[in-house]
Amino acid sequence: MIGLEAINVTKIYGAGATAVTAVNAVSLGVRRGEFVALVGPSGSGKTTMLAMLAGLLRPSAGQIFIAGQDIGRMSETQRTRFRGRYIGFAFQSNNLVPYLTALENVELLLRLNGKLDRKGRERARELLVRLGLGERLHNRPNQLSGGQQQRVAIARALIHEPEVVLADEPTASLDTERAHQVVQTFAELIHEQNRAGIMVTHDLRMCRYVDRVIQMVDGHVSREIVERNEILRLAGALDSPDGGSEVALVHAETIGERRPRDDWRRSPAAVV
Amino acid sequence: MSMAFYLAFKEVWRNKGRFALIAAVVALITVLVLFIAALAEGLASANREYIEKLNGELLVFQANTQLSTSASRIGRSRVAELRRVEGVEAVGQVGFSTAKLIPPDGGDEINIAFIGVEPGMPGEPEVFAGQQLARSRGNNVIVDEGVIARLGVQVGDLIRLKVTRGTREEFYDLTVVGLTDRRQYFFQPAVFAPIVTWDNIRADGGQPGGELVSNIAVIKLRNPDEIERMKRRIEAEVKDVEVADKKTAWEALPGYTAQQSTLSTQQFFTFFIGVLVVGGFFQIQTLQKVAQIGMLKAIGLSNWTVGLTAFAQIIIVNALGVAVGAAGTLALTANFPVTVPIVLTGATALAAVLALLAIGPLGGVVSVVALLRIEPLRALGMAQ
Ligand SMILES: Nc1ncnc2c1ncn2[C@@H]1O[C@H](COP(=O)(O)OP(=O)(O)O)[C@@H](O)[C@H]1O
Ligand SMILES: [Mg+2]
């Protein structure tokens, strides 16, 4: 049940005449076992939102709870420790430590949490095998393809059993086929391991693997899609008479009522 | 803590080439700094050795001669006055001159310091083989290790001394009765003769008939802890003298201070270059790692861990370079003959090595601070 909850989160960059409201009173929640995509045009505030959810950026207003703790109230040091323990990260690039092998990169998070025992090592190995990297355990990142690197990053994001897993454009540097493989496995693992997953992406086709799509425009949530078919249509994975994904968004009007598993508090901004 | 050392070790180990390169630079700088230190030490002792090892505490110069051994004159009568001062245990006259030694096998002549001393008095060096000078005017001499190394002389051998008086060359055959350790004076190996003999032989000639005049007198005190008080007392009770302790005396040797400060300036600049090179290397490393460091901080590594990792690497690489450089220098200098003025004493080497170990931390400070400033937001391609 517990996962991540953001209440009326706002981020204003700068001050005075040059102030930019990048995120404007956004509320959203992601349960454990749920995988959510954050989409929207460039400049709509996705990265800013993700940075706040990750405890990397302090909100100007609002609260963010992860595993029941208000990360906005934490000191810098506390947030750093909190990230290492409760959050898993997969970034767009520069995910891996170049001088560590695939296995060592994954084990890093166990080491950080003092869980690098025999069982932990075994889990890291199994996870990489599961991600198709059984032959690549002892290769360093520069000996891995882009897709393999992202799969190592996914393993690293999950290995320490975090509450929340955050991915920022994880497929940006991958070709279509690889991108599908990576996100599909990512989604499987999030569901299997019961994590709250959020992925920022500009590639709508990747939405077919998520349970819910949150679309941001100009710093607020413009639409939220939970209905399976609508998500598939958005992702272009369903033949529809109206065709393209953009059109699909237009039909997602009454999502609020149609979310069967949803019992999150939601701000007016999140409901369209 | 253990995380920092784990990362530091892995990174150095998996980038051996790059880190070996900078360690090699540190090693070369170490060799350079140690060599300059050894040269400074070698030259200093080649200059002051005799004075440093004197078996007395105070040196007496003629007043107003700026502690110049060559300008100063101390006569026999003055020595008698010195002996009467309360607290003076013994006084020895010492005269300095130069001469050449003619090698028996006909090699190049050797410039030496020809020093006259009073047998049994302060100023006469202790021998490690053979005998001290007899109380006589005999043609007996003690030679120092510099002479031994160049001529291979032994106790009982004859050595031939050449002095030039005006345009005339005169030769003297002297018997080696004792051997002493290195007692160079003004960069020259030393031959010690009884002062009367010295007075007869020395190049500018003695004063026949007049009293025996030396350059300085060396005083041994009854209580060696009273140096300052005795210096003042002697200057008060004996007319026309200036008294100096050994250190003051050797620092007044011609060129001594200038030479030492030149060498220590060189040493400092070499050290400084080391700091810049090491600092530059790690700073470039840091700049190249901004994205990676941002990622590490984002996934939960503390600033402390990241800083300690870099610091540990700097220390490791620095220490490795200094160790290799110091070992190399020791191996090299160990095989130098005594005639080369390179002396690496334990103390100078240790001081230099300790200073060199500070190169990394000093140079690395900027890069570590830069590392600490990197924001975890970088992981998302953002910065505040
Ligand atoms: N550090 C910053 N300082 C000022 N404005 C910023 C900063 N970062 C982002 N912005 C602005 O905030 C808005 C949202 O940016 P961002 O979160 O990067 O959106 P997205 O990821 O959806 O492209 C944009 O208008 C952007 O120009
Ligand atoms: Mg963005």
Under a CB-based contact definition with an 8 Å cutoff, are residues B374 and A86 in contact?
A: no
Residues B223, B271, single domain; the answer is no
Q: Which atom of ligand 1 is nearest to the CA of A200?
A: 21
Q: Which of B206, B239, B272 is the last residue of a domain?
A: B239
Asked if residue A272 belongs to a domain, the reply is no
**Helix pair angle (B16-52, B359-373), 10° resolution:** 140
Beta bridge partners of B75: B213
**In this structure, is residue A182 part of a structural domain?**
yes
Q: Is residue A7 part of a domain?
A: no
Q: Are residues B144 and B219 in the same domain?
A: yes
Answer yes or no: is pLDDT of B137 > 80.
no
Residue A144: what are its φ and ψ, rounded to 5°? -115, 150
Task: Please give the pLDDT value at position B347.
Answer: 84
A13 CA closest ligand 1 atom index = 4
CB contact, 8 Å: A143 with chain B? no
A98 lies within 8 A of chain B by CB: yes
Whether residue B244 is contained in a domain is answered as no
Percent of chain B's residues with pLDDT above 90:
67
* Residue-level pLDDT at B270: 87
> What is the rounded CA–CA span in Å between residue A144 and residue B160?
81
Q: Which domain holds residue A139?
A: 31-58+71-260
**A261 confidence band (pLDDT: 50, 70, 90):** very low
C-alpha B348 – ligand 2 centre gap (Å):
59
Contact map slice: B 334-353 vs A, CB within 8 A: none
| Number of structural domains chain B divides into | 2
The answer, as to whether pTM is greater than 0.95, is no
For residue A64, how far is its CA from the centre of ligand 1 (angstroms)?
19
pLDDT in tens, B295-311: 999 999 999 999 999 99
The verdict on B30 and B110 lying in the same domain is no
Is residue A256's pLDDT more than 50?
no
Across chain B, mean pLDDT equals 91
**Do residue B153 and residue B218 come from a single domain?**
yes
Picking from B64, B63, B62, the residue whose alpha carbon sits closest to that of residue B95 is B62
Query: Does the pLDDT of residue B133 top 50, yes or no?
Result: yes
Question: Do the chains contact at A112 and B300, CB–CB below 8 Å?
Answer: yes
Is A98 in contact with B292 (Cβ distance < 8 A)? yes
A-to-B residue pairs, Cβ atoms closer than 8 angstroms: 79
Determine the distance in angstroms separating the CA of B376 from the nearest CA of chain A, rounded to an integer.
7
Q: Which residue of A has its CA nearest to B292?
A: A94
**What are A153-197's pLDDT values in tens digits?**
999 999 999 999 999 999 988 899 889 999 999 999 999 999 999
pLDDT higher than threshold 70 for residue B22: yes
Give yes or no: residues B194 and B265 share one domain. Answer: no
Residue A266 lies in a domain: no
- Report the pocket of ligand 1 as residue ranges, CB < 6 Å: A 13-14, 20, 22, 40, 42-48; B 382, 384
How does residue A93 score in pLDDT terms, banded at 50, 70 and 90?
A: confident
Would you say residue B246 lies in a domain? no
Between residues B323 and B150, the one the model is more confident about: B323
The answer to whether B149 contacts chain A (CB < 8 Å) is no
pLDDT category at B318 given cuts 50, 70, 90 is very high
> In the prediction, which pLDDT does A262 show?
39
Q: Is the same domain home to B175 and B282?
A: no
Using the predicted structure, report yes or no on whether residue B21 has a pLDDT greater than 90: yes
CATH number of the domain enclosing A103: 3.40.50.300
CA distances from B297 to A82, B74, B375, B384 (A): 12, 77, 8, 15
Distance from CA of A233 to the nearest CA of B (A): 29
Q: Do B119 and B188 fall within a single domain? A: yes
Which residues span the domain enclosing B35?
2-48+257-379
Whether B374 is in a domain gets the answer yes
**Domain match, B151 and B267 both:** no
Are residues B382 and A109, on separate chains, in Cβ contact within 8 Å?
no
Residue A14 inside a domain? The answer is no
Instruction: Kindly state the tokens that stand for B358.
Output: 């500070």
Is pLDDT above 80 for A257? no
| Nearest CA residue ID for atom 11, ligand 1 | A22
Residues B241 and B237: their CA atoms lie apart, in Å, by 10
**Which pLDDT value is given to residue A269?**
39
Q: Is the pLDDT of residue B346 over 90?
A: no
Judgement on whether residues B73 and B217 belong to the same structural domain of the protein = yes
Please indicate, yes or no, whether residues B285 and B371 belong to a single structural domain of this protein.
yes
- Ligand in closest contact with the CA of A169: 2
Tally of structural domains, chain A = 1
Lookup: tokens for A18: 């040059």
Q: Check CB contact of B297 with chain A, cutoff 8 Å.
A: yes
Shortest Cα–Cα distance, B324 to chain A (Å): 25
Q: Using CB atoms, pick whichever of A51, A84, A104 lies closest to residue B300.
A: A84
Percent of the residues in chain B that have a pLDDT greater than 70, as a whole number: 97
Under an 8 A CB cutoff, do B14 and A50 touch?
Answer: no
**Please, are residues A156 and A98 in contact by the beta-carbon 8 Å criterion?**
no
Residue A271 placed within a domain: no
- Is A253 among the domain residues? yes
Q: Which of A85, A91, A99 sits opposite B295 (nearest CB)?
A: A91
Report whether pLDDT(A251) > 70: no
Judge: A83–B299 Cβ closer than 8 Å, yes or no.
yes
Domain shared by B84 and B225, yes or no: yes
Residue A5 region by backbone torsions, left for phi larger than 0, else alpha for psi between -120 and 50, else beta: beta
Q: Can you say whether the dihedral through the CA atoms of B302, B303, B309, B315 is positive or negative?
A: negative
Tokens for B249? Answer: 């005396």
Q: Is residue B384 part of a domain?
A: no
Q: What is the pLDDT of residue A91?
A: 93
Complex ipTM: 0.86
Under the banding of pLDDT at 50, 70 and 90, the label for residue B104 is confident
**B299 inside 8 A of chain A by CB:** yes
Residue A22 Cα to ligand 1 midpoint, Å, equals 6
The nearest alpha carbon in chain A to B16 belongs to A99
Does the beta-carbon distance from A85 to B303 stay under 8 Å?
A: no
Give the per-residue pLDDT at A196: 96
- The string of DSSP letters for chain A reads ---EEEEEEEEEES-GGG-EEEEEEEEEEE-TT-EEEEE-STTSSHHHHHHHHTTSS--SEEEEEETTEEGGGS-HHHHHHHHHHHEEEE-SS--S-TTS-HHHHHHHHHHHTT--SHHHHHHHHHHHHHTT-TT-TT--GGGS-HHHHHHHHHHHHHHT--SEEEEESTTTTS-HHHHHHHHHHHHHHHHHHT-EEEEE-S-GGGGGG-SEEEEEETTEEEEEE--HHHHHHHTT-S--TT-SHHHHHHT---HHHH-TT------GGG--
The larger pLDDT score, comparing residue B21 to residue B207, is at: B21
Contact A68, A254 (CB under 8 A): no
- In the block, tokens 């790692």 appear at B289
Does one domain contain both B261 and B371?
A: yes
What per-residue string of b and e applies to B211-243 under the rule 16 or more CB within 10 Å gives b?
ebbbbbbbbbbeeeeebeebbebbeeebeebbb
